[in-house]
Chains A and B, each alone.
Chain A
Amino acid sequence: MKSMNIEIQTSKTPWVDPGTREQGLIFSIQAHSVHDGPGARTTVFMSGCPLKCVWCCNPEGLFNQPVMLHSDVKCVKCGACIAACPHGAVSLQDGVLTFDRSLCNQCGTHECVDACLHEGNVISGKWYTINELMRVFERDRMFWGSKGGVTFSGGEPLMQKRFMLPLLKKCKDSYIHVTIETTSHLPSDYFMDAIRYVDWVFTDIKHMDPERHRELTGVDNRLILANIRRMGEADWWQGIVVPRIPVIPGVNDSEENIRESAKFVKSAGLEVINLLPFHRLGESKYRQLGRRYPFVDMKPPQQKHMEHLQNIVQSEGLYAFVGHETPF
């Protein structure tokens, strides 16, 4: 994992809030999202994450500042960005345009983006004020239907604490249905304060073994499990919790781990697990960030295997849904 040049952030490293009180850093807004909560939704992808999962499909969301993505498909090798970069970070090596990411990922000026006439270099991450976001929501809410709303995803949507708390409050005041897709790896007081304004929570259980969890994500799972349990027990809260397990072949898809996860969910007073089969859709983003994608050769889990895992979850007395085949 070190070879992948990811800084491992453990639970002991200080928490970095990429946002400010005025502005949040957002790397994508997706209208008509249909698999991120009930109804049709507008999904907002917030930058920054306390976890570094090796299979992450949104690696551009791991950054705490806007980051440059380079598309080799669109690049015409004209060299304009080599000339434009004041840091000498761009070079042509053996016919391949190479970016020194130790410099690029710190860059705040992105001259290479301005110089490119082919959308070969683009910036991921844009600052929004609460009012700007609310204007998007007001436009979109006609389309959500009676059940839809806003989903905050990421990254970790609650990472930008100073921005998110007032934003969530504002959504609640505006009668907007709010879903979050969270790691649950956040200080418990803040976490429980935030979900007060949330109607629906998707939260991952990536592995039940704390050490294995740390190996895979950079943090152990104790805080996560504790927070999930807190949500299950919060009788003052009128929300829904749907734990999700990203099923990564050979990583966390053993019968034992799935059964343990199901037992935990049951014990937390929750009723359902959504099993999400691994996919490789994030692969191109790794290339655009100049990173090696560790799962080039990994195939999504077999349908039969998913059925088997679904049966295990059900045998523990829970509802189990696979992928997008859900009633929401």
Chain B
Amino acid sequence: MAKKFSEIMAETGQSLEYQAGGKAPEKIVDREVQWKPHPRVQKLKDIYMNTLSSANNEFSYWYTREYFMHDNEVPVVRRAMALKTAFSHLTPVIFPGELLTMRKAAFFRGSFPMPWLSEGFYMAKEDEFYQEALKRGSASVDEHSKFGQGGGNVTKSFDKVVSIAGKFGMRQEEIPVLLELAKMWYGKSVDDLGNKYEQMVPDYEVKEAIMRNIVCMFDSGFTLPQGREVINYYYPLEYGFDGIIEMAKELKDKVAGRADGDGIIGMNRLYNYEAVILAVEGMQAWVNNYAKEARRLEAMESDAQQKKEYGDMAERLEWLVHNKPRTFIEAFQMIETLHLAVLNEDAISGMSPGRIGQILYPWYEQDIEAGRITDDEVLELLELDRVVKTSIDCFASMGVVGGVLSGNTFNTVSIGGLTKDGKSAANPLEYLVLKAAGTNAMPQSTLALLYDEKLPDDFLMLAADVIKTGSGYPAFMNNRVAQDFLMSHYGHEGMNLEDARAWAIGGCLETSGCCWKPLHLNGKEYFIPGGAGQPTSVGVHFIAQPKVLELTLFNGVDARTGEKVFEPHNSKLESFEELFEQYKKYWQKTVDVLDLCNNIQHDIWRKNNMAVINSFMKPDCLDTGHLINEKGYRYNATFNVENSGNITWVNSMAALKKLVYDDKEVSLEEMKKAMKDNFGFKSARDIGSFSLMDQEKKDDSGNKYDELHFKCLQAPKYGNDDPYVDSILEDWENFFCRDCWTYESLYGEPLYACQISVSTHGAMGAATIASADGRLDGTTFADASMSAYPGTDKNGPYAVMKSATVWDHSLSQNSQLNLKLHPSSIKGEEGSRKLVDMTRAYMRMGGFHVQYNVVDSKVLKDAQRNPQNYRDLMVRVAGFTQYWVEIGKQVQDELIARTEYEGI
């Protein structure tokens, strides 16, 4: 042969010395990655592993007490006073070995209730308020959501610890306090007040029926009113707390008594600045209490090393009470503090730090140059940050935290992307952020890699290595698709190319509008990105497309409960087009009524419970004097419509088209009967598994549905590059995404489509009868919005990716594709290369998001049987990472079934 093997290999830079067995070069063995955190980090991680989620009433008590002392105060000032008092009274806790400190509450892993948002679900079941809450539609999702039984969740009471909200343990003696606090908010919480006014929406009964029958999961305004957004740390980093207070005082002088042309809310600026000052004072007191605690521990400590660490920590905190950070570790402590402060201000899931590799870079560059810190020390701090972020718990109802979030808090960090001037943003610190996610593979912060063609190859290869640790992240998000979405959706609010480049993921995969701000250090100017938009994933929460289709087929009646949800359409559904049109009408009705009711809930929130801390940090609140509730943020068109069960719906429509309308193999009535009879199978709820392959036949059913069920299963399925079914997806996306623009949020802005299922595909599938695609009653929907239904993608991942990109993803805030990979398919450097190549191709085809779960389903099955042996096992569920044992059984079943792409 003319060409030598060795020459070809040399051209690619490959080593040719591959030794099997013990002497294998690092290239092979080391890359099947088993990185370890620093010993200090491992110790804290061990504490986390052995800690239960805990809650107390400290913050709740002081907030409530202060709030009710100020009847008739201007609402924003009253709220800030309550926040200040609550922050000032939080008991500090510092753990040995920590370098970055502060916690939400006085526990390693803890939180507290916020009865001012919703008080109903804190009540003991026998309590009358709880009974009242149960009657509301929004409570019924709790019955369909399950927390994982292992891990740190306190799902059952034990000894003197009471399980609360299905997740937290609270000391028994605190329960009367909680109930007393809750009673004080009865009729006054955002939930109660919002409910009072949403009932004035003419179709409120339809909304109640929608919630009761789980056509939609969750109200938006009082469950997690903030989050799914990117925080902005800029002002405290640039000015320090004292600087902000000074600035606010100057601004107060400028606006006191002046409307400045705005006769409606111009005067509010005075109160808003006053509120900012109060809130910052509260944060200062809180930090100062931590400083004092560090000094106390320093005085008691006998170990010289630990003593010095406490002393250094105290000094950092004492400095940060007043000043802007000087060093990398001070800057890191500052953003940690700010992050926890915002999370304590409201019930929040998905407050994303954003692009910390850009934000902290000025101090990194300075300290590395000065020889003040090493890359290894930076890596250790980044690992410690992951312990802090993973320890954050979110306090909301079981339905929300278990059913939607699987306990996850989505403190997503974004890496990659572009700088303000359009260069690759992968600086040396970003490599360390990425590496730390592998060396300390805890669920938080989840990593989002903003994929751009300009990113260097070794950055993407390192990402593949981190994926191989089994952590499941980073997920890949398409930088250019996101920019297109941002510019088209926020163009009227001034979004331009530069600001579009500042974007990051807020929450698990919500594209969030951000901006650049000039940070000054050592006479140099750096532009750092940060959030500049309102919360996303608020507005109309998850609507189950298969459920709306079920209602369409059954003339407005829920086939599971027999309850009427919509007015009958009485259409005969004689053609596929007629079916599609009627489905769209019910869909629009659902979105419309939910939009109106949630607008009212959010409006109550903005009147009495508005963000002060999160607000003043976000551009351009300090500049304009208006907080979030007065559209002080730069980008306000953030409300959305979320779908669930997208692909299950697409497959069902394809089966109806094929079997009922095109081939006329079965009449619509026969199909409906079969769906109602669950094709002769038992219900998933009865047999305890929610995976299609585990379902059992009814004993007395005979074989009458076997042929039809087989045909339903054999009908064209999404994910196989089959235009018959993919064209239905394309038609739907073109309708759905554009339809969202026709609804209006309380801020007078158009809505957009958000296509992530999080964990709702389990809980909502549980409430939906069998569907025409052959899916059985109660089983999960296909997860995400672009993943194939488990086992139906028979042509491999390329065909799935081809099917997924038949529509323009920049019409939507996001899309989501999860693929499970067997470890053998990405083995070695070449395996990493192939993973990167596949990802790059999907991005080039216009896919917005893909993430890979590298696990063996045999391992997962064993983990389900023996959770105690898998305390450490992490898996991906619908867009985020979580410990296996903490995931509900429905989602576990679905993960096991998801098709594996195994290399041959």
Chain A residues within 8 Å of B, Cβ to Cβ:
29-36, 39-40, 42-43, 78, 117-118, 139-140, 142-148, 231-242, 269-272, 303-304, 306-307, 310, 319, 321-328
Q: What residues of chain B lie closer than 8 Å to A303, measured between beta carbons?
A: 20-21
Q: Does B703 contact A (CB under 8 A)?
A: yes
Complex contact B20–A307 (CB within 8 A): yes
A145 & B721 in contact (Cβ 8 Å cutoff)? no
Contact for A242 among B5, B709, B824, B831, CB less than 8 A: B5
**Minimum C-beta distance from A41 to chain B (A):** 9
Which among B3, B795, B796, B824 is the interface contact of A238 at CB below 8 angstroms? Answer: B3
Which residues of B lie under 8 Å from residue A321 when comparing CB positions? 18, 20
Q: Does B801 contact A (CB under 8 A)?
A: yes
Q: How far is the CB of A25 from chain B (nearest CB, A)?
A: 18
How far is it, in angstroms, between the C-alpha of A237 and the C-alpha of B28 when the chains are bound?
A: 32
Q: Please name the residue on chain A nearest to B21 by beta carbon.
A: A307
Q: Contacting B709 at CB < 8 Å: which of A31, A117, A304?
A: A117
List residues of chain B with CB within 8 A of the CB of A322: 18, 20
Q: Is the Cβ of B798 less than 8 Å from the Cβ of A327?
A: no
**Complex Cα gap A144–B841 (Å):** 8
Q: List 17 A-B contacts (CB under 8 A).
A: A34-B903, A143-B838, A145-B837, A146-B837, A148-B834, A269-B1, A270-B1, A306-B20, A307-B20, A310-B20, A319-B5, A324-B903, A325-B18, A325-B24, A327-B830, A328-B14, A328-B830
State A314–B267 Cα separation when bound (angstroms).
Answer: 84
Q: Contact between A31 and B1 (Cβ–Cβ < 8 Å)?
A: no
> Please, which residues of chain A bring their CB within 8 A of the CB of B836?
145
Q: Tell whether B9 is near chain A: CB-to-CB under 8 Å.
A: yes
**B15:A43 contact, CB within 8 angstroms:** no
Judge whether B8 is part of the interface by a CB distance below 8 angstroms. yes
Q: Which of B12, B824, B841 contacts A143 (CB 8 A)?
A: B841
Contacting pair A326 B20 (CB below 8 A):
no
Q: Point out the residues of chain B lying under 8 angstroms from A30, CB to CB.
A: 796, 904
Task: Give the residues from 830 to 868 in chain B that come closer than 8 angstroms, CB to CB, to chain A.
Answer: 830-831, 833-834, 836-838, 840-842, 844-845
Interface positions of B from 1 to 59, Cβ below 8 Å from A:
1-6, 8-9, 12, 14-16, 18-22, 24, 28
Of A36, A142, A231, A234, most B-chain CB atoms within 10 Å: A142
B798 touches A140 (CB 8 A): yes
Determine which residue in A29, A233, A237, A307 has the highest number of CB atoms from chain B within 10 A of its CB, and name it. A307
Cβ B8 vs Cβ A39 within 8 A: no
* B901 close to chain A: CB less than 8 A: yes
Q: Which of B1, B19, B706 contacts A239 (CB 8 A)?
A: B1
Q: Give the residues in chain B near A140, CB-CB below 8 Å.
A: 798
- Report how far A139 CA is from B802 CA in the complex, Å: 8
Task: Say yes or no for B573: interface residue by CB 8 A criterion.
Answer: no
Q: Would you call A327 and B18 a contact (CB within 8 A)?
A: yes
**Per-residue interface assignment for chain B, residues 211 to 253, with 1 indicating a CB less than 8 Å from any chain A CB and 0 otherwise:** 0000000000000000000000000000000000000000000
Give the residue name and chain of the A residue nearest to B799 (CB): A31
1/0 contact trace for B797-820 toward A, CB 8 Å? 111011000000000000000000
A78, A118, A145, A306: the one contacting B834 at CB < 8 Å is A145
Identity of the chain A residue whose Cβ is nearest the Cβ of B828 in the assembled complex: A325
Asked whether, in the complex, the Cβ of A240 is within 8 Å of the Cβ of B845, the reply is: no
Q: Are B830 and A235 in contact (CB under 8 A)?
A: no
* Chain B contacts for A233, CB-based, 8 A: 1
| Residue contact B1 to A240, C-beta cutoff 8 Å | yes
Q: Is B419 an interface residue (CB 8 A)?
A: no
Q: Identify the interface centre among A34, A42, A303: most chain B CB within 10 Å of its CB.
A: A34
B68 at the interface (CB under 8 A from A): no
In Å, the complex CA distance between A316 and B679 comes to 65
Question: Which chain B residues border A36 with CB–CB below 8 Å?
Answer: 904
> Contacting B825 at CB < 8 Å: which of A34, A148, A327?
A34
Contacts of A269 in B (CB 8 A): 1
- On whether the beta carbons of B5 and A326 are closer than 8 Å, the reply is no
Whether a CB of chain A sits under 8 angstroms from the CB of B724 is no
Contact B14 A240 (CB under 8 A): no
Within the complex, the shortest CB–CB distance from B4 to chain A, in Å, comes to 6
Total cross-chain contacts (CB, 8 A): 142
By the criterion CB–CB under 8 Å, are A234 and B798 in contact? Answer: no
Q: How far is the CA of A142 from the CA of B802 in the complex (A)?
A: 10
- Give chain A nearest CB distance to B455 CB in angstroms: 16
CB distance from A303 to the nearest CB of B (A): 5
Chain B: residues with Cβ within 8 Å of the partner, total of 52
A304/B1 contact (C-beta < 8 A), A39-B833, A117-B709, A326-B830 known = no
Docked-complex contact B799 and A142, CB < 8 angstroms = no
- C-alpha spacing A232/B3, complex, angstroms: 10
Q: Are B797 and A319 in contact (CB under 8 A)?
A: no
Q: Using Cβ atoms and an 8 Å threshold, which residues of chain A touch B12?
A: 147, 327
* Pair B2/A324 contact, Cβ less than 8 Å: no
CB distance from B20 to the nearest CB of A (A): 4
Q: A32-B798, A35-B904, A139-B799 are in contact. Are A117 and B707 (CB under 8 A)?
A: yes
Which of chain A's residues has its CB closest to B23's CB?
A307
* Cα–Cα, bound, A239→B838 (Å): 25
A7, B8: Cα distance in complex, Å: 41
* Chain B residue nearest to A201 in the complex (CB): B1
B464 to chain A, nearest CB (A): 12
Least distance between A231 CB and chain B CB atoms (Å): 6
**Residue B480 at the chain A interface, CB threshold 8 Å:** no
B14 lies within 8 A of A34 (CB): no
Task: Say which residue of A139, A241, A306, A327 sits within 8 Å of B9 (CB atoms).
Answer: A327
Q: Known pairs A239-B1, A307-B20; list 15 more (Cβ under 8 Å).
A: A29-B795, A32-B798, A34-B826, A34-B830, A39-B834, A39-B837, A40-B838, A142-B841, A240-B3, A270-B1, A307-B21, A324-B828, A325-B28, A325-B827, A328-B830
Q: How far is the CA of A33 from the CA of B838 in the complex (A)?
A: 12
Asked if A143 and B795 make an inter-chain contact with CB atoms under 8 angstroms apart, the answer reads: no
In the assembled complex, the CB of B571 is this many whole angstroms from the nearest CB of chain A, namely 32
B796 touches A117 (CB 8 A): no
Residue ID in chain B nearest A148 by CB atoms:
B837
Q: How far is the CA of A324 from the CA of B824 in the complex (A)?
A: 9
Select A325's contact among B5, B14, B20, B837, beta carbons within 8 Å: B20
Interface residue? B735 (CB, 8 A): no
A29, A39, A40 — most chain B CB neighbours (10 Å): A40
CB distance from B77 to the nearest CB of A (A): 58
Closest-by-CB residue of A relative to B831 is A34
Given contacts A142-B844, A236-B2, A327-B14, are A40 and B837 in contact (CB under 8 A)?
yes
A303 to B22, CA, bound (A): 10
Q: Does B710 contact A (CB under 8 A)?
A: yes
A233 nearest CB neighbor, chain B only: B1
> Which of A30, A36, A78 lies at the interface centre, i.e. has the most chain B CB atoms within 10 A of its CB?
A30
In Å, the complex CA distance between A39 and B24 comes to 21
What's the Cα separation between A237 and B2 when bound, in Å? Answer: 6
Q: Collect the chain A residues with CB atoms within 8 Å of residue B904's CB.
A: 30, 33, 35-36, 43
State whether B798 touches A31 (Cβ < 8 A). Answer: yes
B19 near A310: Cβ-Cβ < 8 Å? yes
- Whether B825 lies near A139 (C-beta < 8 A) is no
Bound complex: CA A36 to CA B830 (Å):
12
B476 to chain A, nearest CB (A): 14
- Residues in chain A near residue B830, CB distance under 8 A: 34, 39, 326-328
Q: Which residues of B contact A272 (CB under 8 A)?
A: 5
Contact at A304–B21, with CB atoms within 8 Å?
yes
- From B16, B841, B842, B903, contact of A327 by CB (8 A): B16
In angstroms, Cα B859 to Cα A261, docked, is: 39
With both beta carbons as reference points, the residue of chain A lying nearest to B703 in the complex is identified as A78
Q: Chain A contacts of B901 at CB under 8 A?
A: 32
In the assembled complex, how far is the CB of residue B830 from the closest CB belonging to chain A, in whole angstroms? 7
Inter-chain contact A31/B837, CB cutoff 8 Å = no
**Chain A residues near B9 (CB-CB < 8 A):** 327-328
Q: Which residue of A lies closest to B710 (CB)?
A: A117
A272-B5, A327-B9 as given contacts; A32 in contact with B833, CB under 8 Å: no
Across the two chains, which residue of chain B brings its CB closest to A135?
B721
Out of A143, A237, A240, A328, name the residue touching B837 (CB < 8 Å). Answer: A143
When chains A and B are docked, how far (Å) is the Cα of A34 from the Cα of B798? 13
From A232, which residue of chain B is reached at the shortest CB distance? B1
Q: Which residues of A contact B801 (CB under 8 A)?
A: 143
